[in-house]
């Protein structure tokens, strides 16, 4: 493992002497281990005494990636956040011009009427997570979304003006989280943060929903931290 980590730190092939020095292994020990890894294609021998990471690692990495389930990785973190805040926690993904709720944790004692149940859909511009996806799209694609959908109104707080929506998305990009201020359902507010995969692409969103008189905007930090932990669990590395 030390040898693999040492090879990973270098963009170009590394010689045996340097690898032995970095790992504090005796050169003969390092050579023996490297030879086994070369046979297994975990390491490539470029020329006598020079090595780099092997193609087998890419194959294994793609296999791991294909088996990762965002929902499965997110659920324990969602439960922790729910226990911490005592409010409903949602996981949602984007499908075309809507968000789809794929997981939810909430207490049986919750008095809030939540319309977002698993499998439910909502337009992007009325939800915190939907706004995250629109913010990621950029101004031009957001304007296309506005023209395509007409920004239908759901409550008196729904953003139905393209210019107002663009300003809101700019604010979201700077602060790193999004708010739904009773825009989807009167009396219910939401805080959302993005979940990113190993390519740095926004693939899902985590949100906390609560009655407007209970929701604390200071929870944004905890929502973001939880979203970051989920991102790391599916392979994202912070820059």
Q: Pairing between strand 14-15 and 50-53?
A: antiparallel
In SS3 terms, 164-194 reads as HHHHHHHHHHHHCCEEEECCCCCCEEEEEEE
CA angle 230, 181, 184 (to 5 degrees): 85
Quick one: 76 and 189 in the same domain?
yes
pLDDT tens digits for 137-161? 988 999 999 999 999 999 999 999 9
Q: Contact at 8 Å (CB) between 8 and 25?
A: no
Both 10 and 104 in one domain: the answer is no
Condensed to tens digits (0 to 9), the pLDDT of residues 86-120 reads: 898 999 999 899 998 988 887 654 444 444 467 78
Domain that holds residue 11: 2-65
Number of domains the chain contains = 2
Same structural domain for residues 106 and 44?
no
pLDDT of residue 114: 44
CA distance 60 to 72: 20
User: Based on the domain organization, do 82 and 199 belong to the same domain?
Assistant: yes
Residues 77, 187 share a domain: yes
Q: How confident is the model at residue 47 (pLDDT cuts 50, 70, 90)?
A: confident
| Portion of the chain with pLDDT greater than 90, in percent | 72
CATH number of the domain to which 32 belongs: 1.10.10.10
Q: 150 near 187, Cβ under 8 Å?
A: no
Dist. CA 32–CA 44, nearest whole Å: 14
Q: Does 62 score more than 90 pLDDT?
A: no
Q: Please tell me the predicted confidence (pLDDT) of residue 68.
A: 63
Does residue 143 share a domain with residue 55?
no
DSSP 8-state assignment for residue 24? T
Average of per-residue pLDDT across 183-198? 92
Same domain, 93 and 211: yes
Q: Which of 65, 98, 119 is the last residue of a domain?
A: 65
pLDDT top residue among 108 and 173: 173
How far is Cα 222 from Cα 109, in angstroms, rounded to an integer?
Answer: 22
Name the residue with higher pLDDT: 125 or 234: 125
pLDDT (mean) for 4-20? 94
Task: Compute CA 23 distance to the chain's CA centroid, rounded to the nearest angstrom.
Answer: 33
Q: How confident is the model at residue 199 (pLDDT cuts 50, 70, 90)?
A: confident
pTM, two decimal places: 0.72
């Amino acid at each position: 493992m030390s040898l693999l980590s040492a090879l990973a730190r270098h963009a170009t092939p590394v010689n045996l002497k340097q690898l032995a020095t970095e790992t504090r292994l005796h050169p003969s020990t390092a050579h023996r281990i490297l030879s086994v890894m070369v046979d297994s294609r975990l390491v490539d021998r470029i020329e006598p005494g020079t090595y780099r990471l092997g193609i087998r690692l890419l194959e294994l990495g793609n296999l791991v990636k294909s088996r990762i389930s965002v929902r499965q990785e997110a659920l324990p973190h969602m439960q922790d956040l729910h226990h911490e805040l005592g409010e409903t926690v949602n996981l949602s993904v984007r499908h075309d011009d809507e968000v789809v709720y794929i997981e939810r944790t909430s207490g049986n004692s919750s008095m809030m009427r939540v319309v977002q149940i698993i499998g439910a859909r909502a337009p992007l511009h009325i939800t915190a997570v939907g706004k995250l996806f629109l913010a990621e799209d950029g101004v031009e694609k957001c304007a296309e979304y506005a023209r395509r959908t007409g920004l239908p109104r759901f409550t008196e707080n729904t953003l139905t003006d393209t210019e107002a929506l663009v300003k809101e998305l700019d604010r979201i990009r700077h602060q790193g989280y999004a708010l739904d201020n009773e825009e989807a359902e009167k009396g219910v507010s939401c805080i959302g943060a993005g979940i990113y995969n190993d390519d740095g692409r926004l693939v899902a969103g985590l949100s906390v929903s609560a009655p407007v008189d209970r929701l604390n905007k200071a929870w944004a930090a905890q929502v973001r931290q939880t979203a970051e932990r989920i991102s790391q669990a599916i392979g994202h590395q912070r820059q």
